[in-house]
Structure 1
Amino acid sequence: MLNDRFRPMASRLNRRTFLTRAGWGGLGAAALVAGAGRARVSAQPAYPDWIAASPKPPKRGGVLTRASAWDPPVIDPRITQSIGLHQFACLVGNRLVRYPFADEATGPTDLTLKGDLAESWQPSPDHRVWTFKLRQGVKWQNVPPVNGREFVAADVKYCFEAYAKEGAQSFTFQEIEAIETPDKYTVRIHLKTPNVLFPQNVAEPITILFAREVLEQDGDLKKHLIGTGPYTLKEHTRKVRVVLARNPDYFDKGRPYFDEYVILSTPDAATRMAAFRTGQSDILWLASPSEVETVRKTNPNAVVQSYHNSLTPFGVALAQDKPPFNDVRVRRALSMAIDRQKQADTLFEGHGIIGWGVPYIYYQDKAPTLAQLGPWWQYRPAEAKKLLADAGHPNGFETTLFYYE
């Protein structure tokens, strides 16, 4: 089921609503979630935030198609954090551990770790050493130059060291001091400092394990991505489409359900909506109740689910080691210059929540109020201007903003 691999990525997206076309929605609607949630304005329609798995046996076969706003600039998971890549890379590759599939989870906030390529994991008493016991008999996808060889502990060591060496994911792996592989199915990871959340770090979609043969042969992963996952990468045509084909040798014999998954590069929102309405796309992510209701007029059988999460990476990361952001007054001024409540009310029609910063809190039973988030989270433009002036920027300043797709 395609949803099986999407829950972690979905947890990264802010309050939106998605729809699925009737016919397959009962199979996977609960997992291809990407936002929305409980309305702050009571007049807004309410949508379920969880759709339980159907008691009926899942239907197998067919093609799932999605018009997507995101297009991967490259397919090398080491060098990009592009959602365009990770929306399907986590279907091509596995991680050591994962978050629960939709048909395993008790609800949208169930983040109980499950074994993926690792069957078990255990920390040392001080949480500086983590030992993972690997699933035996797992095969790499039967694609040259790997050709379906067995996945072993040395592959984990190679991938983690490659991630740590360079690229956008290096920060996750640079906390590793050493990796031991005492046998084919055991990986012992020594950390520089204790980390009780290390398994959560390697459960993220960005930490997929890739075949070393490709990197050794090509020098990068820009042309080929081979993993152990439920789908093989059949086609990647930049700014056109991505096609994934079912991996017949996948170790979880019950999955995946679809024969193919096609992602159409569709940056225009109106085109994505039209594709859904005409049956060319099976999934649609929307930000506001009015958009949902507009689509339901033409697609009354669409399955709607909202997703209320308390985690968003879509903020501004500041380089605090150099001016002007090394001055806490500048950082506080920027924060107080943002009217977060107005953003939620305007963009999401009161159907959004106020996000917060680092450290990320995966889920809470109740979203914190603005008051609980502290003084620097309040919209106070006069105080923001004063802080900037005190920091030597009475007329503001120019800076460069980098962003990823």
Structure 2
Amino acid sequence: MKKRDFHKFALAAAAMGLADIPLGITRAHGQTRGGTLNSIVQPEPPMLNLAVSQLTPTQMVSGKIFLSLLTYDVNLKPLPSLAKSWTVSPDGLTYTFQLEPNARWHDGKPLTAEDVVYTAREFLPVTHPRARDIFGRCESITAAGPHTVVFKLKAPFGPFLSAFDISNLPVMPKHIYAGTDLAKNPANLNPVGSGPYKLKEWVRGSHIHLVRNEDYFKPGLPHLDAIIYRVMPDGASRALAIEKSTVQLTQWTDLELFDAQRIAKQSNLAMTTKGYEYFAPIMWLEMNNRTAPMNDKRFRQAVMHAIDRNFIKDRILYGFGKVATGPVNSKTRFYEPDVKKYDFNVAKANALLDEMGLKPDAKGIRARLRFPVSPYGEMVQRSCEYIRQCLSKIGVAVTLESTDPGSYTQRISQWDYDLNLSWLYQFGDPALGVTRNYVSSNIRKILFTNTVGYSNAEVDRLADAAALETEDAKRQVLYSQMQKQLVEDVPIAWLVEMEFPTIHDKRIQNLVTTAIGIHESFDQVSIKA
């Protein structure tokens, strides 16, 4: 049997196991409401609570189940979500949000200001990689009424109003979580949210089935009857599924990028790279700064010289992106282009290692490093293999280690690694999505914090000063200085500013309308008859 025929057979067999679930767009002609949207989730998330797990698959699915106070348009301007309105005091210290009075949890209980206060003050600081830095700036977080929340800052924080998207402040039900072990609460697998869709079933290894929340506070919404996320570990099967309209939506790394270029040309499909502006991820190679030889910046600089980043962009990412110059994506505010440059130069890399006194052994090996490979598809695997190949040319022997989502999360969060390929969201402002990876105060055993263990007092000072400054011109000066210092120290090898293709059936309407893209609630998404 040919490989492609095998994948067709496998896809058909999977469909047989889902016989009672619609495989394609389903809606009677002429209806203005209804339909089932089929998509892919890859890899399968470890849980469905994005307040505990910030992995992309969890965020993507949970964004339909939970809501935050705000969302953001393509220009990163705030829009209502659970908050119908908000005000900021003239001194920039007090932010008051008026909540939707008819919002309810999926179990029927009302959502109140107490839920927001509990989430920001008690839940997220324990589980979330950014909450301590964001909401720790508050002198108080209080309920001024059943539907009024007041955040009072200790000092002005310029990007504070940008911190209320679904990934930064997913509002959690206090009555479900208060007094429990947050990481082990059963609701992490069977969530009780306030969003337009609620969980019907999660069949491990098969699918996650969401259905319309009939008590959603927005009249007439959502449009769809259901969203089904299908678990498809095999890349060829995922490509075949969108080609054959078994699914109608792919995003992030669902498709290998060479497949995306080809499949997007089908007449029934459309492709966009919009909807990732808020995230603006950079693919990078984390190096555990605590352990030798990675605790010497000359080694980290050598790694930058040893990797051909243009090769990764052109040959592995198929042109989706641009070579990164440092820790801030060029699409993010306060980007500084005038930083130290690292060209692809193996001779420079070897010279730096020689300067360190890192001598090769009888087999020509200077160092041996462990490299857990995250389970996010062939693109990640190929990137890791290419990095291993590059480092072998400077005498660094890399062992690639397979992982599943759970073990990968555990290892990186517990600092049990030497190298790690990842990409983190920037959230529109360095104070929200960039400095968390480099400031000493955020060295924590939580994923997506400063897990590399980098510490520099000057970077800490610049990051703090820039966050407190309210004038953009002054913030730019501070962030430019910070970026220059970081690029000198290279705590992380920045590789490529990533772009991702979202491919969808042309009948799907209002799919990507904000900077949050496919992480949105999808309450406005509909299917054109």
**Is TM-score (shorter-chain normalized) higher than 0.5?**
yes
Q: Which residue number corresponds to residue 125 of structure 2?
A: 164
Equivalent residue in structure 1 for 2:343, among 378, 387, 402: 378
* CA–CA separation in structure 2 for the residues paired with 1:303 and 1:121: 36
Alpha-carbon offset, residue 59 of structure 1: 3.9
Alignment of 1:93 with 2:60, yes or no, is no
Q: Which residue number corresponds to residue 388 of structure 1?
A: 353
| RMSD of aligned Cα (Å) | 3.4
* CA–CA separation in structure 1 for the residues paired with 2:322 and 2:209: 34
The question of whether the paired residues in 2 share the 8 Å contact of 1:72 and 1:238 is answered with: no
Compare the two structures and name the one with the higher helix fraction: 2
Alignment of 1:182 with 2:144, yes or no, is yes
* CA–CA separation in structure 1 for the residues paired with 2:295 and 2:88: 36
* CA–CA separation in structure 1 for the residues paired with 2:338 and 2:235: 33
Secondary structure at 1:181 match in 2: strand
The question of whether the paired residues in 1 share the 8 Å contact of 2:25 and 2:38 is answered with: no
Alignment of 1:65 with 2:43, yes or no, is no
174-183 or 305-314, which moves further after superposition?
Answer: 305-314
Q: Which residue number corresponds to residue 315 of structure 1?
A: 284
Greater Rg over alpha carbons, structure? 2
Secondary structure at 1:207 match in 2: coil
* CA–CA separation in structure 2 for the residues paired with 1:390 and 1:125: 55
Q: Which residue number corresponds to residue 223 of structure 1?
A: 189
Alpha-carbon offset, residue 325 of structure 1: 4.4
The question of whether the paired residues in 2 share the 8 Å contact of 1:214 and 1:225 is answered with: no
Equivalent residue in structure 2 for 1:155, among 108, 115, 123: 115
The amino acid that maps onto 2:238 is R
Alpha-carbon offset, residue 249 of structure 1: 1.4
Q: Which residue number corresponds to residue 137 of structure 1?
A: 102
Alignment of 1:319-398 (within 5 A): 319-320=288-289, 324-355=293-324, 357-360=326-329, 362-363=331-332, 372=337, 374-395=339-360, 396-398=366-368
The question of whether the paired residues in 2 share the 8 Å contact of 1:210 and 1:225 is answered with: no
The question of whether the paired residues in 1 share the 8 Å contact of 2:201 and 2:208 is answered with: yes
C-alpha spacing 1:174/1:401, structure 2 compared with 1 (3 Å): farther
Alpha-carbon offset, residue 202 of structure 1: 2.4
* CA–CA separation in structure 1 for the residues paired with 2:271 and 2:80: 30
C-alpha spacing 1:306/1:170, structure 2 compared with 1 (3 Å): closer
* CA–CA separation in structure 2 for the residues paired with 1:305 and 1:71: 24
Alpha-carbon offset, residue 388 of structure 1: 3.4
What residue ranges of structure 1 are gaps of 5+ in the alignment?
A: 1-20, 25-56, 101-108
Alignment of 1:301 with 2:268, yes or no, is yes
Higher relative contact order (CA 8 A, sep 6+): 1
Q: Which residue number corresponds to residue 210 of structure 1?
A: 172
Secondary structure at 1:374 match in 2: coil
- Identical counterparts, % of pairs: 24
* CA–CA separation in structure 1 for the residues paired with 2:357 and 2:276: 38
The question of whether the paired residues in 2 share the 8 Å contact of 1:86 and 1:206 is answered with: no
The question of whether the paired residues in 2 share the 8 Å contact of 1:336 and 1:376 is answered with: no
The question of whether the paired residues in 2 share the 8 Å contact of 1:90 and 1:206 is answered with: no
TM-score relative to the length of structure 1: 0.71
The question of whether the paired residues in 1 share the 8 Å contact of 2:209 and 2:228 is answered with: yes
What residue ranges of structure 2 are gaps of 5+ in the alignment?
A: 1-22, 361-365, 375-404, 406-529
Alpha-carbon offset, residue 243 of structure 1: 0.7
The question of whether the paired residues in 2 share the 8 Å contact of 1:69 and 1:268 is answered with: no
Q: Which residue number corresponds to residue 231 of structure 2?
A: 265
The runs of 4+ residues in structure 1 deviating greater than 6 Å are: 21-24
Alignment of 1:199 with 2:168, yes or no, is no
* CA–CA separation in structure 1 for the residues paired with 2:317 and 2:203: 33
Equivalent residue in structure 2 for 1:291, among 245, 256, 259: 259
Alpha-carbon offset, residue 321 of structure 1: 5.9
* CA–CA separation in structure 2 for the residues paired with 1:324 and 1:136: 57
C-alpha spacing 1:166/1:86, structure 2 compared with 1 (3 Å): closer
Alpha-carbon offset, residue 195 of structure 1: 2.0
Could you report, residue by residue, the CA deviation over 1:89-123 in whole angstroms, capped at 9, with x for unpaired residues? 011011011123xxxxxxxx432211211233344
The question of whether the paired residues in 2 share the 8 Å contact of 1:332 and 1:376 is answered with: no
Could you report, residue by residue, the CA deviation over 1:337-371 in whole angstroms, capped at 9, with x for unpaired residues? 3221111110233343224543455557xx99xxx
Alignment of 1:30-45 (within 5 A): none
Alignment of 1:98-113 (within 5 A): 98-100=71-73, 109-113=74-78
Alpha-carbon offset, residue 61 of structure 1: 0.4
The question of whether the paired residues in 2 share the 8 Å contact of 1:70 and 1:83 is answered with: no
Secondary structure at 1:345 match in 2: helix
The amino acid that maps onto 1:120 is S
